[in-house]
Structure 1
């Protein structure tokens, strides 16, 4: 998982490459793809979904990456949780 800072850097890198591109080159598909990738990275950098504290699940006995500490679940007892 990439951090918002990484997405900012990647978007800036792509825009720096595009700044040196001639205006008539923007009709080529590979240049348009760079523009789209820069837009995607900028959107991901500003996305509110990033929790800020990605924790490796190995700390909790898992093998994948999870967001934050494990959630404590409760079992139902009678008619209550």
Structure 2
């Protein structure tokens, strides 16, 4: 086991066995900032998912519909000539 992993386990054990050392006061400003940071992280995750899912599907749909359009336009232009 690496040294950094042993230190992490030791710190976790201290936090579990001595929770009074981890007590702290969360004032209104820090709590609101924490909630804002959490909401920003959720919004970033949703925006990422939207970008990776919606835009490729939109491009795929556009490519499917553009294949039909030129054939129809060609047939219409040949019929009018």
Give the TM-score of the pair, scaled to structure 1: 0.30
Query: Comparing both chains, which one has the higher relative contact order based on Cα–Cα distances under 8 Å and sequence gaps of 6 or more?
Result: 1
Query: Which of these two proteins has the greater Rg computed from alpha carbons?
Result: 2
Give the TM-score of the pair, scaled to structure 2: 0.30
Bigger fraction of residues in helix:
2
